[in-house]
Amino acid sequence: MKKINVSAPFTRVTCSPKGDIGVPGRTIVYSIESEVLQTTSGPIVFAGGETTMFEQVGWQLTPRDIFRHTVTGGEANVIVQKTVDGERTVVENTSKVKIGQAYEGEITFSLPKDNRIFGLGQHEKGVYDYRGQAEFLVQNNMKIPMPVFLCVGPQVNFAVVFDAGCLMTFEEHDGTARFTFDAVDRIDYYIVAGSSIDELIKGIRKLTGTAVMLPRWAFGYIQSRERYKTQADVLETAEEFLARGIPVSCIVQDWSTWEKGKWGSKYVDKERFPDIKSMITKLHDNDIAFMISIWPNPAIGCIDNTELAEAGGLFSNGTTYNAFDENARRIYWKQCEREWFNAGTDAWWCDSTEPFTPDWNGSVKKSCSERYELSKEAATKHIDARCANDYALVHAQGIYENQRAASSSKRVVNLTRSGSLSIQRYGAILWSGDINAKWDTLRSQIAEGLNMCASGIPYWTVDIGAFFTGSDRCWRAWSGSGDKETPWFWDGDYEDGNKDMGYRELYVRWLQYGTFMPIMRSHGTDTPREPWHFGQPGEKYYDTIVKYIKLRYRLLPYIYSLAGMVTREGYTMMRNLNFDFPGDPMACAISDSYMFGPAFLVCPVTYPMEYEAGSKAIQEPLLREVYLPSGGWYDFETKEYISGGRTISANAPVSTIPVYVRTGSIVPVSVKGDGEIDALEIYAGASSSFTLYFDNGRDYSYENGDYAAVTVTWDDESGKLYVKSIDGSYPFPQSLKTVIYHTNGTRSEREFTFVGYVV
């Protein structure tokens, strides 16, 4: 048995029957010097010094052909299908053509039995720890697989990153983990070791690329729905936010901005959107950004489709553009640029970035294995099987690289439904797809988000309130059909949408959760999502929604400083409790609470207390059991000090989500509520440091040093705040009001001046 010491920062392992190492593939950004070539299927023990980490038990590769479908028999026989997930085309007269030779692969590992397994991206079942679980890694609506897992425990911590863009499966049982690969040239993986999960994530980012800064507005509140039908709808929505004094950072225009019959065209329907430049300018005049939905499949007959077809930039279905082709990406960007970007558009919503989704139909949900096989068959008709999971990644690459080439004055934002490792390099925000409105779904989303972030992806979000609110009745209203069976995924519990008091309660809880996520965005179908559709001022649900939107802006200086840490330090905002409390077994097992940065312990409420579906009143205790890890904590709502290392019954009326602040926390805030830093809050009881981050929030000048990272330290024993270091040249406030909360229940205030710092 071979024994190999894992070297810093990572070790590469290549399993190849030909004995070739090969260059890193699409996922891995940097090649590295530390390489191990394994040419036999014998076991390898990996160690960190004297400590055994895990064992590669064995691997095998079985030859297979790579095919792609091409049109045969003259012109394509195209069938257009109207689906819930957009318009799709099928070409009937295609045949398989061999384009290459590769392998099906399998590898097994023996893992420490007392470790937890995190990562693998975001899926649907709400799995928190993949010990004893199986998962199908295939891009699909509501599934974003990542070819990485973390093995975290009391003795060793490591991550394994597969340089693979194919469909994969994972299964773990009794300490043995097995991965299969649909199509690879070799099995190529990297081992990242570290003393903490933060070190593992830093290693993954070093391997796959630094997360770029998003613009500052992206961390505010984003309002969307399916859909605003006209330019007037967009502007009236913005005006209502302004009239009510509710802050909003971005309004999103969903699908169908094109002329009828021209699905996916990026030319605008001038009857409904007569002057998009004027519309966007009016939004900008009120500090509101604009995001537009774009699709990868322009309909046959529209100009976009013709341009791509003439350049050979379409797959054989005749509509989906080939994002793997650099020239096709360039043409696609020019189509985005000519009307939308030139009119001032700030962000792209790249929807349906897993463009072949055959399981997104039918009244009965198929098994996981059936869905996997269907998706594999559909995707690999058009995409090389070796990179069938990478479509969204190269699509994002095209948007990012071409926008940056066109203009350096605006940071790229791409809200995309799928992706893979390294997509953080391209200004991407991932979201969990078209989920349904159920309490169980809300609960599962917490665990899924934690695993996505533990996979190294920093910016992830959800449709606050879920995409599908109701079921049969909502489906019939949306589709205009009373005879078609309701699709399996259109399965929310609230047919009356926001008129149902049960949905109002669920929506409020979802929005509270969304307040403490990397990105806060409300969206969905069946019922409007703007705050005024949930009541009026003075009513509980409306007031709570507004309270938490405003809280988001109060915390924006803290959140933007976390974003600075993401880019500069490889940090993770949304953190399962293993990140910060690895020595606390109770904390490490919790899947429904998490840390939001170093300060906040967030405990979403995931069950009804006042209403069930149908506005049926219930009277459940307004309490939520919360485990506070060891140390000291403050109730964020009341500022009451509470000792940790125990479970408490937290007050949790609908107007409040239980959130606790760790002692020693330094939290920059916007007391005025405009998102601009004007104060520091310090929660005494321990010493700590925090890095405040400043830049212009708009462009990429931070890459050239036009930023300021100011690290401040709170010394609890002396009760003094110090500036430890200042990095960068961007101007920042020279003094701030400081509010100090004390463990005895008192508070004090003072002015803090940024002078006399020690570098």
Give catalytic residue positions.
351, 354, 434
For 627-638, b/e burial (b = at least 16 CB within 10 A) is bbbebbbbbbee
The SS3 assignment for 351 reads coil
Task: Judge contact between 647 and 602, C-beta under 8 A.
Answer: no
Question: CA 429, 144, 508, 280 torsion: positive or negative?
Answer: positive
Q: Which residue type does 211 have? A: A
β partners of residue 102: 64
Q: Is 618 exposed, middle or buried (0-12, 13-18, 19+ CB in 10 A)?
A: exposed
Q: Which long-range contacts (CB under 8 A, 24 or more apart) does 123-128 make?
A: 123/448, 123/451, 124/444, 124/448, 125/444, 126/440, 126/443, 126/444, 126/445, 126/446, 126/447, 126/448, 126/591, 127/447, 127/448, 127/451, 128/447, 128/450, 128/451, 128/576, 128/591
Q: Is 722 exposed, middle or buried (0-12, 13-18, 19+ CB in 10 A)?
A: middle
Three-state SS for 512-559 is HHHHCCCCEEECCCCCCCCHHHHCCCCCHHHHHHHHHHHHHHHCHHHH
- Please give the Cα distance from 678 to 637 (Å, whole number): 20
Upper half-sphere CA count for residue 150 (Cβ side, 13 Å): 30
Tokens of 104: 């099906």
CB atoms within 10 A of CB 368: 18
Where do the DSSP E strands lie in 84-155? 86-91, 94-110, 116-122, 134-137, 144-152
Phi first, then psi: what are they for 532, rounded to 5°? -70, -5
β partners of residue 111: none
Within 8 A by CB and 6+ apart from 441, the residues are 435, 466
- Please give the Cα distance from 464 to 449 (Å, whole number): 13
Q: In angstroms, what is the C-alpha Rg of the chain?
A: 26
- Please give the Cα distance from 184 to 660 (Å, whole number): 46
Tokens of 336: 């985005």
Task: Judge contact between 265 and 259, C-beta under 8 A.
Answer: yes
Q: Which of 75, 594, 601, 627 is nearest to 318 (CA)?
A: 75
Where do the DSSP E strands lie in 363-478? 414-416, 428-431, 460-461
- Please give the Cα distance from 407 to 427 (Å, whole number): 14
Helix (H) or strand (E) holding 561: helix 556-569
Helix axes 231-244, 276-285, angle to 10 degrees: 10
